[in-house]
Amino acid sequence: KSWTSAEVRQMFLDFFKEKNHSVEPSASLVPHEDPTLLWINSGVATLKKYFDGRVIPENPRIVNVQKSIRTNDIENVGFTARHHTFFEMLGNFSIGDYFKEEAMKWGWEFLTSKDWIGFDESRLSVTVHPEDDEAYTIWRDIVGIDEERIIRIEENFWDIGEGPSGPNTEIFYDRGEKYGNDPQDPELYPGGENERYLEIWNLVFSQFNHNPDDTYTPLPKKNIDTGMGLERIVCVIQDTPTNFETDLFKPLIEATESISGRKYGESEEEDSSFKVIADHMRTVSFAVSDGALPSNEGRGYVLRRLLRRAVRFAKQIGIDQPFMYKLVPEVAKIMVDFYPEVKEKQSFIQNVIKTEEERFHETLNDGLAILSTIMKQESEKGSNIFPGTEVFRLYDTYGFPKELTEEYVADAGFTIDEDGFMLEMEKQRERARNARQKAGSMQVQEGVLGDVHVASEFTGYDQLHTEAEIIE
């Protein structure tokens, strides 16, 4: 049986409501109480207050569907079947209430029971941490999974440094031989880098405290934190080759077809463009509806980078005009029943995106011309390194985020001189500092302008870095 994405979302909530969970609404993508995080990147990220004991929930059993943004997967987006920068995470949580056995039994029941999703059990396999005999035994003896489909994997340990940590178990769906059948492929196993065994659900057992001296002690109250990607389970249910042909993305792909005049599904390369555009549009639309705006730092830098990256991919399917703002109503329409916010702010979001597109288009062709001139010069010198000073010039004058230049030149086999770029950024910072000092008594009035300059000091990069580290 096939379900719509809206039905799957609701089924998940209903299932855990039946198991006495309370529904926690999807929170803003912009973290309100967590300075270590650039974006809400998982269901648990908004529930930290319960996990660290600051707030005691009325009901220790919680279920949610949480909007999430991850930038650490960006290189995969458009190229794997399963990665997005914006996705929805379905999660059930226990704050010191139930533990492994219930979490695993219920996860399995939701996926395999004919009353719920009803997956064929023989398609599913699970991974556990090598030392987590408890989880192994529950899967084998209580849930009843064959031993050959329980795989012990070292990576199955969830740890972010100090704080709660513990082993996890992941559930994979075998999409069949057409997504990989090479017996020599060392990556072809659940947990490997492949498109056949799709990771759908991660169940984290937070049972230890990671102490400052790097020892681990058992937590007095053990928690459960799970996350399942809606787009992935819907892909399996709707039996589509990638997440992008599901009802969550299809209208966006079709709208891009009519704007570009190209057809999706004719070349792998062009399909990547369709996918990147659809993905990035969802991310930017939701982020702006939650109050973020394109800029040169932090969150805003991510949005700027996503929009400009989408422009790069749009060029490859012949789109040379601002167009992304036209896709916002499609995002709004697909999501309106569960997330009315995009529809409510539709025209504002469109204006933000259109302005950003227009700004970039004004300088895009000049920037691209410089890019190819420099690459030609360097090639003649026998180099395939793109100078840092030029990366900086493209950033500062033509609005090319560093990562974008990096991607453009990578197409021609170039890498960028990262250190040289950082040096230029440092020099600019120095200039800004001096300018502020010169302003002297004018400093207070100049404060506003000064801040604008500080903002372009590229703090975004550091923050992105931190975020990637937190996720990994």
Nearer to ligand ATP, 73 or 418 (CB): 73
450 binds ligand ATP (CB under 6 A): no
Strands (E), 175-299: 197-210, 216-229
Question: Does 83 sit near ligand ATP (CB under 6 A)?
Answer: yes
Task: Give yes or no for a contact between 97 and 60, defined as CB atoms under 8 angstroms apart.
Answer: yes
Torsion sign over Cα 259, 343, 273, 187: negative
- Residue 416 CB contacts under 8 Å (≥ 6 apart), including other chains: 385, 386, 388, 391, 402, 405, 406, 409
N-to-C CA span, the chain = 36
* Among 134, 159, 199, 254, contact with ligand ATP (rule: CB under 6 A): 199
We find the least distance from the C-beta atom of residue 189 to Mg ion, in angstroms, to be 12
232 touching ligand ATP, by CB under 6 A: yes
The DSSP output letter for 442 is G
Q: Is 386 in the site for ligand ATP (CB under 6 A)?
A: no
Interface with ligand ATP: number of residues (CB under 6 A):
16
Least Å distance, CB 440 to ligand ATP, is 49
Choice from 97, 231, 356, 424 touching ligand ATP (CB under 6 A): 231
CB of 445 to ligand ATP, least distance (A): 45
Backbone phi, psi, residue 167, to 5°:
-70, 160
What own/partner pairs with CB < 8 Å and gap ≥ 24 does 112-116 have? 116/11, 116/15
Q: How far is the CB of 202 from ligand ATP (least distance, A)?
A: 3
Structure tokens at 311: 């422009």
At its nearest, how many Å lie between ligand ATP and the CB of residue 90? 9
Closer residue to ligand ATP (CB): 68 or 463:
68
| 3-state class (DSSP) for residue 422 | helix
Q: Are 143 and 103 in contact (CB under 8 A)?
A: no
The nearest distance, CB 229 to ligand ATP, in angstroms, is 3
Exactly one of 9, 21, 67, 84 binds ligand ATP (CB under 6 A); that residue is 84
Q: Does 89 bind ligand ATP (CB under 6 A)?
A: yes
Which residue's CB is nearer to ligand ATP, number 192 or number 387? 192
214: left (phi over 0), alpha (psi -120 to 50) or beta: left
Interface residues with Mg ion (CB under 5 A) are 199, 202
The partner in contact with residue 200, picked from Mg ion, ligand ATP, none with C-beta cut-offs of 5 to 8 angstroms by kind, is ligand ATP
Half-sphere exposure in the Cβ direction for 105 (13 Å, CA): 10
Residue 125 binds ligand ATP (CB under 6 A)? no
| Residues forming the site for ligand ATP (CB under 6 A) | 70, 73, 82-84, 87, 89, 199-202, 227-229, 231-232
